[in-house]
Amino acid sequence: MGLRIFIFEEDSSLLNLLTVYLQGKGHSVQGFLGRYSCPLYQKEHCCCPAEKPCAEAVIINSRNPLKDADILIDQGRKGCKLAAKNKAVMCASFLKGQEDVVQDLGFSTIKKPFRLEKIEEWLESCTARLSCQLPASPK
């Protein structure tokens, strides 16, 4: 079974490309045109069920990677349950030091141009992190 993925992307053609590709790989993808489309952006607290987040991977892309990171930090403050490493900031041109700042905050980075296989590799690492967090099954 694939991951539940949220993609926040301002470019509709890139959003469509990622959505079609990742759905073809068996993932459930919900796309949003813009980073402020996250339901948590306008709410004070996360309303996802206590046992799991609303998505298992998040990709956010705009021209300002530090603002994207700020949105992801704000999600965490409001109770988002998704691990920071399963959230990625995508950018075509990280300025000097920006990529390090984003990674130091615990988030993954994806540089554009990218190969779709690299996105799938990152999603595989997200899956591995999630499997480490699963509670042990009762005996």
pLDDT at residue 118 in the model: 92
Q: What CA–CA distance (Å, rounded) separates 136 from 132?
A: 10
What is the mean pLDDT of the segment spanning 72-97?
Answer: 87
Beta strands in 25-105 (DSSP E): 28-32, 57-61, 87-91
Of 20-34, 58-72, 125-139, minimum mean pLDDT range: 125-139
Q: What is the mean pLDDT of the chain?
A: 85
- 46 pLDDT above the threshold of 70: no
The answer to whether the beta carbons of residues 3 and 28 sit under 8 Å apart is yes
pLDDT digits (tens, 9 = 90+) for 112-124: 889 999 999 999 9
Confidence of residue 136 (pLDDT cuts 50, 70, 90): very low
Q: Which CATH class is domain 4-133?
A: alpha beta
* CB contact set of 98 (below 8 Å; sequence gap of 6+): 65, 66, 91
Domain boundary assignment for the chain: 4-133
Confidence of residue 44 (pLDDT cuts 50, 70, 90): low
CA-based torsion, 92, 107, 103, 105: positive or negative = positive
Q: What CA–CA distance (Å, rounded) separates 108 from 40?
A: 20
- 110 pLDDT above the threshold of 80: yes
Confidence of residue 49 (pLDDT cuts 50, 70, 90): low
pTM of the model: 0.85
pLDDT at residue 55 in the model: 87
Strands 87-91 and 57-61: parallel
